[in-house]
Structure 1
Amino acid sequence: MTGPISTSRLGILQALLACCIWGVMPIYFKLLESVAPLEVVAHRIIWSVPLLFIILYFRKNLSGLRAAWAAPKIRGPLLATALLISVNWLVYVWAVQSDHILAASLGYFISPLISVFLAKIFLKETLSRNQWIAVGIAAIGVSVLAMEAWQTLWISLALAGSWGLYGLVRKIADVGPIVGLTMETSYLFLPFLLFIGWITFGTTAPTTTTHFGDKLTIDMLLLGGAMVTATPLMLFAAAVKKMKLSTIGLTQYIAPTLQFLIGTLLYREPLTTSHIICFILIWISLAIFSADAIFGNASKKAPAT
């Protein structure tokens, strides 16, 4: 009995640590406020590639990467996910640096519901009555926010939409998380390397922001973006193998909750009435959605009497 229990607890700890890292990311990217968002994303991708190759080498999974590159059914979808993840990261970094952490957190609260809706449309997965109710309540919440804070609503929808589509396409491509991220960042490596070369050595390069090589602290933070990217992913991938699906689903709300608290308590972003109503409705929606996932699955597995 001790073995399975300890394994499950280890999985929960790994998932919690991964979600906490994702949750406090706004603090990390706030430290890079003097660097343009596109340059932050570029360095995050460029330095992730060698780190991910090293990880795959020590995990003895370079053969898995070669097999994935050789499969056209994987290469095509991962090119699409590479573009989606770059858009997601760019919007997120811009939102954090522009004092829109609340809008970013709302996007990641909505994304599980967007994923369910996309699965219904593209994968023909059925939705239960409670799941439809949850989606409807979330839609009302977003509509309320749109009436007062429509200027930043695009941030939430862009993050939720890009992340939802990313998850949909990655579900179609049968590839592991580390191998998949390695391929995605490899697709983006050369374009972003050329971009960094242009802003570093180009005669018309912008000079209004800090660049790599200007300050040691900034350099370390830009290099550290690779670890910030890979570490929580590896922790969460390891946790998935040890946890129940229902528990995994609940942990995905930890990161946006931490981002919400950081935005309101640490950076004092304004919390309007529409924000409060929207977040309450989203939390009610997620509670219904999570309860349906847990108890609905349990009832399906229950033996007939």
Structure 2
Amino acid sequence: MTAANPQRGYLLGLTAYIIWGLFPIYFKAIQAIPALEIIVHRALWSALFGAALLMVWKHPGWWRELRNNPKRLLVLAGCGLLIACNWLVYVWAVNNERMLEASLGYYINPLVNVLLGLLILGERLRRLQWLAVALAALGVAQQVWQVGSLPWVSLVLALTFGFYGLIRKQAPVAALPGLVVETWLLLPVALAWLALHPAAMSNQAEFWSSWQWLLLAAAGPITLVPLVCFNAAARHLPYTTLGFLQYIAPTLVMLQALLLFGEHFDPAKLMAFTCIWAGLAVYSLDIWLSLRKRKAA
């Protein structure tokens, strides 16, 4: 087993989260293509690139585990649908000037995970965790009150990713093979969509003579490379450290929205973000205190 190398872990972790945080630039580059068609190709190219990765990075026994536990395939199929939904809403949000809402969704995600642990797994929350969840709920509630509607983009992104993580635990397959199998299971749906939509941009001959098909094909490595980096980082860093690094991605999305793509903080969004950030600060404090207590024990 490779010895832990924190410096390498930080480098790999930062690489993963920075790539995830810069996704909007990529999706803006192909925004002429409808969001659903982008997701279809993301599944296709991720499946192909993932198959190539599995040939390079050996994961002994993963296929045997799935073959001997067919229920895990059903779990991965459900995970594939959840992650596809997450991808679709995210791409739609980026290409429809809703990046701040997307950013908010990924800020909310850790707190949604805490809430799912309470409601579904029966986990008990500590006082600071209750406070963190309450602050997040306050942020959503004030948005509803001021704007008159739920921040559905944020909630869908947070909930789909939260449930994805929750359900994914029921199929203990390594992250890379698991994601690749999820994309393989999406392949029939993706191919059927292309067959049923002959007018789709990528079904036109001229599309394949343009540079756009290369950008679409890049969806495979762009999806999987940060995951590989993240998995490698997890072998060198404590998971709690990776948990703190996760805020890099939504922060980069938020900064791009404000500085590059002309989105603005209205009072409702600013208040929502303030509540969520306060909740995350409390959540982070709770993690730190819990770790400190554990070390002292």
Alignment correspondent of 2:190: 192
- 2:180 is aligned with 1:182: yes
In structure 2, distance between residues paired with 1:143 and 1:242? 39
Instruction: Please give the secondary structure, in 2, of the residue aligned with 1:172.
Output: coil
Counterpart residue type for residue 122 of structure 1: I
**1:171: which partner in 2?**
169
Q: Quick one: structure 1 residues 150 and 193, their matched pair in 2 at CA, closer, same or farther if it must change by over 3 Å?
A: farther
Q: In structure 1, what is the equivalent of residue 47 of structure 2?
A: 49
Report the counterpart of residue 75 of structure 1 in structure 2: 73
Give, in whole Å, the separation in 1 of the partners of 2:51 and 2:83.
19
Partner of 1:283 in structure 2? 277
Asked if 1 retains the 8 angstrom alpha-carbon contact of 2:37 and 2:200, the reply is no
- Count matched residues: 294
Structure 1 Cα separation of the partners of residues 269 and 115 of structure 2: 23
- Post-superposition offset of 1:270: 2.3
Structure 2: distance between partners of 1:106 and 1:62: 38
Could you tell me whether the CA contact under 8 Å between 2:143 and 2:149 is conserved in 1?
Answer: no
Unaligned runs of at least 5 residues, structure 1 = none
Query: What's the counterpart of residue 40 of structure 1?
Result: 38
Contact 1:35 / 1:210 at 8 angstroms: preserved in 2?
no
Moved more, 210-219 or 179-188: 210-219
Q: 1:125 aligns to what SS in structure 2?
A: coil
In structure 2, the residue matched to 1:216 is 210
SS at match of 1:54: helix
State which of 293, 297, 300 in structure 1 corresponds to 2:287: 293
C-alpha change, 1:212 and 1:225, in structure 2 (3 Å) is farther
Q: Give the distance between the partners of 2:63 and 2:222, measured in 1 at CA.
A: 22
Match of 1:129 among 123, 127, 130: 127
Return closer, same or farther for 1:100/1:161 CA change in 2, 3 Å cut-off: same
Matched, 1:237 2:231: yes
Give the stretch that moved more between structures: 29-38 or 52-61.
52-61
Q: State the 1:300 CA deviation.
A: 2.2
Task: Please list every run of at least 4 consecutive aligned residues from structure 1 whose deviation after the TM superposition is greater than 4 angstroms.
Answer: 209-213
C-alpha displacement at 1:60, in angstroms?
A: 2.0
Does the CA-based 8 Å contact 2:30-2:215 persist in structure 1? Answer: yes
Partner of 2:158: 160
Q: Aligned partners of 2:279 and 2:204: how far apart in 1? A: 42
Q: Is contact 1:32–1:221 with CA below 8 Å preserved after alignment?
A: yes
Residues 1:268 and 2:262 aligned together: yes
Matches within 5 A, 1:82-97: 82-97=80-95
Aligned-residue sequence identity (percent) comes to: 37
Amino acid of the residue matched to residue 105 of structure 2? G
TM-fit CA distance, 1:47: 0.9
Q: 99, 108, 111: which is aligned to 2:109?
A: 111
Offset of 1:301 from its aligned partner?
3.0
Distance 1:53 1:62 in 2: 14
Q: Deviations over 1:144-201 (max 9, x none)?
A: 12223455711111111101100101122211110110111011011101212333xx
Cα deviation 1:47-94 (Å, max 9, x = unaligned): 111211111111122641342243124112111111100100011111
Contact 1:105 1:259 in 2 (8 A): yes
Distance change >3 Å, CA 68–CA 259, structure 1 → 2: same
Question: Which residue type is aligned with residue 98 of structure 1?
Answer: N
Inter-partner Cα distance in structure 2 for 1:301 and 1:265: 42
Q: Distance in 2 between matches of 1:42 and 1:69?
A: 26
Deviating more after overlay: 63-72 vs 293-302: 63-72
Backbone CA RMSD of aligned residues = 1.8
Q: 2:117, 2:195 → 1: CA distance?
A: 40
- CA–CA separation in structure 1 for the residues paired with 2:28 and 2:205: 16
The equivalent of 2:12 in structure 1 is 14
Cα distance in structure 2, aligned partners of 1:291 and 1:84: 30
Distance 2:234 2:284 in 1: 17
How far did 1:213 drift?
A: 4.8
The change in CA–CA distance for 1:139 and 1:152 in structure 2 (over 3 A counts) is closer
d(CA) in 1 for partners of 2:154, 2:204: 28
Supply the distance in 2 between the matched residues of 1:239 and 1:231 (Cα, whole angstroms): 12
